Amino acid sequence: MKRLSREFKVSTLVILRRMRDAGGLSAKEFRPAYDDELARLVDLTSGGGDFYRLQVARVGRRFAQAVISSAADGQTTHRDAFRLLGISKTDTLLKLGKNLGVL
């Protein structure tokens, strides 16, 4: 299912439904498989994530370290650092710097 969903650029739920429509799954097989897949997808999206890791992935570790280091040295204003990193608070900048080992 996962391979087919990547190939056709649709969700795994759509793949299950198309399998049912094409006769590959009976109604008895389809409903439990659909419910299981839906529960799996809900579990994947409900956990949230680590904001700081996501920001680093978004802008790049080296770039984030350089911007935070520059802001700490006074070469870059905090306002510019916020804009470059996509954040809006000094506390967030400090925590991000600590997570990256810059501060």
Residues 9 and 40 grouped into a single domain: yes
Check whether 93 has a pLDDT greater than 80: yes
Q: Within this chain, do residues 56 and 91 fall inside the same structural domain, yes or no?
A: yes
| Same domain for 55 and 96 | yes
Confidence band for 41, pLDDT divided at 50, 70 and 90: confident
Q: Tell me which residue range forms the domain holding 73.
A: 51-100
Counting the structural domains of the chain, the total is 2
* Predicted TM-score of the model (pTM): 0.56
- 17 with 37, same domain: the answer is yes
| pLDDT above 70: percentage of residues in the chain | 97
Query: Do the beta carbons of residue 57 and residue 51 sit within 8 Å?
Result: no
Q: What confidence tens digit (pLDDT) does each residue in 49-89 have?
A: 788 988 988 899 999 999 999 999 999 999 999 999 999 99
Residues 56, 25 share a domain: no
